[in-house]
Amino acid sequence: MSAQNITIVGAGIAGLVTALSFARKGHEVDIIEQAQALSEVGAGLQISPNASRILIDLGLGNSLSKAMICPHQITLVSGLSLRKIAHVPCGTFAAARWGAPYGVMHRADLQAMLIEAVKSQSRCRLHLNQRVESATIPTLPERLGRPAPLLTVGADGVWSQTRHLVPGANSPRFSGQVAWRFKMPADGVRAILNPGNVTAFLGTNTHLVAYPIENSTAINMVAIARGADPGQTWAERENPTDRVNLLEAFRESHPDLLSILRDAPQMTWWPLFEVPDGRWSNDAGTVLIGDAAHAMTPFAAQGAAMAIEDGYELAQAVSDAAEDEVRQAVTQYETRRRIRIGRARKRAAFNRFAYHARGPVRLGRDLLLAVKSPESLASDLDWLYGYRAAGL
């Protein structure tokens, strides 16, 4: 296909990866963002091999290696007793088995390297401070003096405005879970975890994930528990009542874990929304990706990875098609991705059930995990981490 104009709504991780993916195929890309300046809220991010290999292919390998920490293992621990249940090896094992590194990093660092890459790409133009509403999205290119696009890509997150342009797309629904995010100094939590690992503390209707960031000087922590539907929001600072509710949810946890939650600095709570399966594209050149299309709960830590895969594979599918076959290419892309997303959703649902198990189910879970070798647990992830996006 000859070079075309592509409009991307949203300059988060999904939008920036999509922009780079289309630009490297020779297309001219406009990224529309309503924020006056780009900043990323939230402390940490897990980058699994299925996502890191895409970032490396887009030329971000050196930047990624400097910012990303590759943990030694993913460790599952009882949040009630602090007893180790099982682990999956990472580090050099992950790179050898899945062909790309597994790492953790500050979300803002990934955002920053993507922004730098977009700004250095002559085919990409980033337009900040642009009011984005569903009714005005079709007029954005004209307003900016740009040609009509071949595609408009909605990468504008859970509360997407672009979604309103896609008949049959579903609205977000509250999952019933809230994520509490905060950072702790690494030296302050060594009593309960190895700061070189990703550690998941499994509790009763709760779990807490911890992993290193900021050159391993800090630990990103995400505590997940049930919560009330707060309405249309995505991140809020806690108030004193919120902390009381969190401690009540984790009341059965080990005292050392409770102490960390009690003494932690101010947290940010994120209600977890899902977008049920629905249409991701219309018949007028609009396509949804990432959370705008299929927001999912973080129990498999694949939200960002699926968005990265989306953007990369969409650019590949469209660029490989003749100009009169773009609609068919988008339909085929959506069909392929729906299968992949569906499987990731099922994994997240399974993890939620397993992580939050109680009573006899929890005992059975622990016994089953105890008899499985680390390599066997790793093999269960081959379909997820070993996946190679189309074009790789």
Domain ranges of the chain: 5-171+275-385
pTM of the model: 0.95
Instruction: Report the relative pairing of strands 84-89 and 28-32 from DSSP bridges.
Output: unpaired
Q: Which residues pair with 336 in a beta bridge?
A: none
Per-residue pLDDT of 65-78, as tens digits, reads: 999 999 999 999 99
Looking at residue 41, what is its pLDDT?
60
Looking at residue 42, what is its pLDDT?
59
Per-residue pLDDT of 91-126, as tens digits, reads: 999 999 999 999 999 988 999 999 999 999 999 999
Instruction: Specify the higher pLDDT residue, 42 or 388.
Output: 388
How many other CB atoms are found less than 10 A from the CB of residue 151?
21
Looking at residue 235, what is its pLDDT?
63
Is it the case that residue 7 has pLDDT exceeding 80? Answer: yes
Name the helix (H) or strand (E) containing 212. strand 207-213
Looking at residue 44, what is its pLDDT?
83
Distance of CA 102 to the CA centre of its chain: 14
- The span from the CA of 173 to the CA of 273, in Å, is 5
Just give the CATH number of 5-171+275-385: 3.50.50.60
Residue 352 CB-half CA count within 13 A:
19
